[in-house]
A and B are shown apart, each in its own frame.
Chain A
Amino acid sequence: MSDRDPPFRPDRRRLLTGAAAAGGALIGARMAMAQTAAGTPDPAIVNLPPWTRYLGDGVDARPYGMPSQYEAHVVRRHVPWLTADPISSVNFTPLHELDGIITPNGLCFERHHGGIAEIDPAQHRLMINGLVHRPLVFTMQDILRFPRENRIYFLECAANTGMEWAGAQLNGCQYTHGMIHNVMYTGVPLRLLLEEAGLKGSATWILAEGADAAAMTRSIPIEKAMDDCLVAFRMNGEALRPEQGYPLRLVVPGWEGNMWIKWLRRIEVGDQPWGQREETSKYTDTLADGRSRRHTWVMDAKSVITNPSPQAPIRTGPGPVVLTGVAWSGRGTIPRVDVTLDGGINWHRARISGPSLDKSMHRFYFEFDWDGRPLLLQSRAHDSTGYVQPTKEALRAIRGENSIYHNNGIQTWAVNEAGEAENVEIS
Chain B
Amino acid sequence: MSRFPEPLTLFGLAAAGTGALLGSALLVANALHDPGPDPAEFPPLSGAAWAQDAAGAPAERQEDVASADMTASPLPAENPAPSREGGYGLGREALPEEIAAWDIDVRPDGQGLPPGSGDVMTGEALFVERCATCHGDFGEGAGRWPQLAGGFGTLDSEDPVKTVGSFWPYLSTAIDYIHRAMPFGDAQSLTADETYAITAYILYLNDLVDEDFALSPETFASVRMPNAEGFFDDDRDVTELALFSGEPCMEACKDSVEITMRATVLDVTPDDGLAPAEATAGGAEASAAAEAAPATEPATEPAAEPAAEAAADPAAEPVAEPPSVEADAPASAPDMALVAAGEQLFRRRCASCHEVGEGARTRTGPVLNGVVGRPIASAEGFGYSRVLEDAGAAGRVWSVEELAAYLADPRGAMPGTRMAFQGLRSEEEIAAVIAFLQSHPE
- Is the C-beta of A50 less than 8 angstroms from some C-beta in chain B? no
Q: Complex: how many Å from CA A114 to CA B33?
A: 37
> Which residues of B lie under 8 Å from residue A394 when comparing CB positions?
243-244
Say whether B173 contacts A196, CB under 8 Å.
Answer: no
Q: In the complex, what distance in Å separates the CA atom of A277 from the CA atom of B255?
A: 47
Task: Knowing A167-B261, A380-B248 are in contact, say whether A312-B286 is a contact too (CB < 8 A).
Answer: yes
In the complex with contacts A297-B234, A346-B250, A347-B249, A427-B258 CB distance below 8 A: yes
CB distance from B211 to the nearest CB of A (A): 25
CB-based contact B167/A281 at 8 Å: yes
Judged by a CB distance under 8 angstroms, whether B426 is at the interface is no
Complex-state Cα separation, A409 to B35, whole angstroms: 49
The answer to whether A198 touches B36 (Cβ under 8 A) is yes
Do B283 and A146 have beta carbons less than 8 Å apart? no
Tell me whether B373 is interfacial, beta carbon within 8 Å: no
Q: Name the interface residues of A87-146: CB closer than 8 Å to any CB of B.
A: 87-88, 91, 97, 105-107, 113-115, 122-123, 125, 127-130, 133-139, 142, 145-146
How many Å lie between the Cα of A71 and that of B55 in the bound state?
Answer: 41
Which one of B175-183, B335-343, B429-437 is at the interface? B175-183
Q: In whole Å, how far is B132's beta carbon from the nearest beta carbon of chain A?
A: 15
Asked whether, in the complex, the Cβ of B288 is within 8 Å of the Cβ of A420, the reply is yes
Contact digits for A372-388, partner B, Cβ 8 Å, 1 yes 0 no: 00001000100011111
User: Does B334 lie at the interface of the complex (its beta carbon under 8 Å from any beta carbon of A)?
Assistant: no
A272 shortest CB reach to chain B, Å: 7
B220 within 8 A of A: no
Task: Please determine whether A292 and B231 come into contact, CB atoms closer than 8 angstroms.
Answer: yes
Residues of B within 8 A of A343 (CB): 257
Kindly supply a per-residue 1/0 record for chain B positions 275-305, scoring 1 wherever the CB is within 8 Å of any chain A CB and 0 otherwise: 0100111111111111110000000011001
**Residues of chain B with a CB closer than 8 A to A425's CB:** 259-261
Q: Given the complex, which residues of B lie within 8 Å of A257, measured CB to CB?
A: none
Q: Are A293 and B318 within 8 A (Cβ)?
A: no
A291 at the interface (CB under 8 A from B): yes
Query: In the bound complex, do residue B305 and residue A78 qualify as a contact, i.e. CB atoms below 8 Å apart?
Result: yes
User: B102: CB under 8 A from chain A?
Assistant: yes
CB <8 Å contact, A422 and B292:
yes
Q: How far is the CB of A251 from chain B (nearest CB, A)?
A: 13
Cross-interface CB contact of B168 among A106, A125, A138, A281, cutoff 8 Å = A281
A289 to B266, CA, bound (A): 27
List A contacts of B71 (CB < 8 A).
352-354, 356
Closest to B87 in A: A196
**Which of A33-41, A213-221, A320-328 is found at the contact surface with chain B?**
A213-221
A156 at interface, CB cutoff 8 A: no
Knowing A85-B352, A384-B60, say if A80 contacts B301 (CB, 8 Å). yes
Bound together, the chains give a CA A331 to CA B280 distance in angstroms of 44
Known: A84-B143, A207-B105, A345-B257. A332 touches B288 (CB 8 A): no
Stretch of B1-9, B62-70, B194-202, B393-401 that contacts chain A: B62-70
B170 near A19: Cβ-Cβ < 8 Å: no
Q: Given A274-B105, A345-B257, A192–B315 Cβ distance below 8 Å?
A: no
What residues on A are CB-neighbors of B17 within 8 Å? 125, 137
A146 and B280 form a contact (CB under 8 A) = no
Given A87-B351, A195-B87, A294-B231, A265–B102 Cβ distance below 8 Å? yes
Question: For the complex, is A201 an interface residue (Cβ under 8 Å from B)?
Answer: yes
A288 nearest CB neighbor, chain B only? B156
Q: Is the CB of A72 within 8 A of B318?
A: yes
Q: Do B36 and A196 touch (CB < 8 A)?
A: yes
Contact (A127, B264) CB under 8 Å given A291-B231, A387-B245: no
The interface centre, meaning the residue of B248, B259, B272, B320 with most chain A CB atoms within 10 A of its CB, is B259
Partner of A142, one of B91, B258, B259, B320: B91
Contact assessment for B47 and A228 in the assembled complex, using a CB-CB cutoff below 8 Å = yes
Q: CB of B316 within 8 A of chain A? A: yes
A315 interfacial by beta-carbon distance below 8 Å: yes
Is B223 close to A, CB under 8 A? no
Instruction: Please measure, in the bound complex, the distance between the C-alpha atom of A227 and the C-alpha atom of B144, giving whole angstroms.
Output: 39
- Give the interface SS of chain B, mostly helix, strand, loop or mixed: loop
Option from A69, A81, A420, A426 in Cβ contact (under 8 Å) with B319: A69
Chain A positions within 8 Å of B168 at CB level: 280-281
**Does A355 sit at the interface, judged by CB under 8 A?**
yes
With a cutoff of 8 Å between Cβ atoms, the chain B residues found around residue A196 in the complex are 36, 87-88, 90-91
Within residues 1 to 42 of chain A, which ones have a CB less than 8 A from any CB in chain B?
A: 16-17, 19-20, 23-26, 28
The complex places the Cα of A295 from the Cα of B231 at a distance, in Å, of 10
Instruction: State which residues 240-284 of A face B: CB under 8 Å.
Output: 241, 243, 265-266, 268, 270, 272, 274-277, 280-281, 284
Given contacts A87-B352, A312-B286, contact A422 B262 (CB under 8 A): yes
Residue tally, chain B, CB below 8 Å to A: 160
**With contacts A77-B270, A290-B155 known, is A276 near B173, CB below 8 A?**
yes
Stretch at the interface among B77-85, B122-130, B382-390, B412-420: B77-85
The reply to whether B160 and A226 form a contact with Cβ atoms under 8 Å apart is no
**Cα(A310)–Cα(B261), bound, Å:** 15
Q: Within B91-105, which residues are at the interface with A (CB < 8 Å)?
A: 91-94, 98-99, 102-105
Residue numbers in A under 8 Å from B322 (CB-CB): 61-63
For B56, B106, B257, B323, the residue with the greatest tally of chain A CB atoms inside 10 Å of its CB is: B257
Question: Within 8 Å CB of B269, what residues of A?
Answer: 79, 170-172, 175, 310
Expressed in whole angstroms, the minimum distance between the Cβ of B165 and any Cβ of chain A is: 11
Query: What separation, in Å, do the CA atoms of A130 and B111 have in the docked complex?
Result: 12
Interface string of A410-425 (1 = CB under 8 A from B): 0000100000111111
In the complex the two chains form, is B233's CB within 8 Å of A189's CB?
no
Nearest residue, chain B, Cβ from A97: B285
Question: Could you say which residues of chain B place their CB within 8 Å of the CB of A357?
Answer: 62, 65, 75
Contact A422 B264 (CB under 8 A): yes
- Assess whether A198 is in contact with B83, with CB atoms less than 8 Å apart: no
Tell me if B309 is interfacial: C-beta within 8 Å of chain A: yes
* Known interface pairs A275-B172, A347-B253, A422-B262; A26-B283 also in contact (CB < 8 Å): yes
With both chains docked as a complex, state the minimum distance between the C-beta of B347 and any C-beta of chain A, in angstroms.
Answer: 8
Interface string of B17-56 (1 = CB under 8 A from A): 1100010000001000111110001101111001101111
A76 at the interface (CB under 8 A from B): yes
CB <8 Å contact, B264 and A73: no
Contact B69 A333, beta carbon cutoff 8 Å: yes
User: Is the pair B105, A427 in contact by a Cβ cutoff of 8 Å?
Assistant: no
Q: How far is the CA of A424 from the CA of B72 in the complex (A)?
A: 34
Q: Is the beta-carbon distance between B107 and A272 smaller than 8 angstroms?
A: yes
Complex CA distance for A86 and B322, rounded to whole angstroms: 27
A56 close to B (CB within 8 Å): no
Contact A114:B253 (CB < 8 A) given known A25-B283, A134-B93, A338-B248: no
Closest CB in chain B relative to A393 CB, distance in Å: 10
Rounded to whole Å, the gap between the CB of B195 and the closest CB of chain A is 14
18 example contacts (A-B, Cβ-Cβ < 8 A) are as follows A24-B284, A72-B319, A77-B306, A88-B352, A128-B94, A149-B80, A171-B289, A195-B37, A196-B91, A197-B36, A217-B180, A275-B169, A345-B252, A352-B71, A354-B72, A390-B240, A390-B244, A423-B262
Q: Which 3 A/B pairs are nearest by Cβ-Cβ distance?
A: A290-B156, A106-B315, A343-B257
- Contacts A85-B364, A293-B234 aside, 11 further interface pairs with beta carbons under 8 A come to A25-B283, A25-B286, A74-B285, A86-B308, A223-B45, A227-B44, A338-B250, A384-B69, A387-B241, A388-B244, A420-B292
